[in-house]
Amino acid sequence: MEYELSKEPLLTASQIEERVQQLGLEISSQFQVDLVIGVLTGSFIFVADLVRCLPNTIQVRFIKASSYGCSQQSSGSVKISSLEELDLKNKKVLVIDDILDTGRTLSCLLEQVRLAGANIVKSAVLLDKPSRREVSIEADFVGFSIENHFVVGYGLDYAEGYRSLPAIYKMSIPSP
């Protein structure tokens, strides 16, 4: 059975633009960011828009995080690449991901950033699906809290497609 894109966006490009600008103000008022770490690939558009709403002295780096399933631990683990290349000592770091789902990726990543010596570590996600959480974690800055839909667009993919859509759409299975 094929997945189908919703006809209307769940979040329009202008809703996203407005919220990203608000997030930039919220973040800047609470926290002086030295370094943004974007989680590839899903966050690339969100990071590009959000950093343009933050002071221009911030540094921007990307890392790749991939779920490793439960290779050794029952809590599940996440493979994170390129983090060791970053100098995080005494930095104020904002980790940015596209969506907080089970919470595994972000909780693992935040722990590793802290272990690498960052001074302050905060997180921002464009979307939050609280009903899907398996690990107890909340992001410091959330764009939109959504129901348990699978969504694509504005960086988020289905099978690596749909990332370039300017708005966010639900992917649904058509009724038979």
Q: How many helices (H) and strands (E) does the chain have?
A: 3, 9
Nearer to ligand IMP, 33 or 109 (CB): 109
Across 78-93, b (16+ Cβ under 10 Å) vs e yields bebeebeebebeebbb
Q: Which C-beta is closer to ligand IMP: that of 52 or that of 64? A: 64
101 binds, among ligand IMP, Mg ion, none (CB under 5 to 8 A by kind): ligand IMP
What's the distance, CA 149 to chain centroid?
16
Looking only at residues 7 through 66 of this chain, which bind ligand IMP when binding is defined by CB under 6 A?
A: 42
Does residue 49 have an active-site annotation?
no
| CB of 31 or CB of 158, closer to ligand IMP | 158
Beta sheet of 120-128, edge-to-edge order: 78-81, 59-67, 35-40, 92-100, 120-128, 141-145
The Cα–Cα gap between 76 and 165 comes to 31
Contact mark string toward Mg ion, 35..74, x via CB under 5 A: -------x--------------------------------
Candidate list 49, 97, 98, 101, residue with the active-site label: 101
| Residues near Mg ion (CB under 5 A) | 42
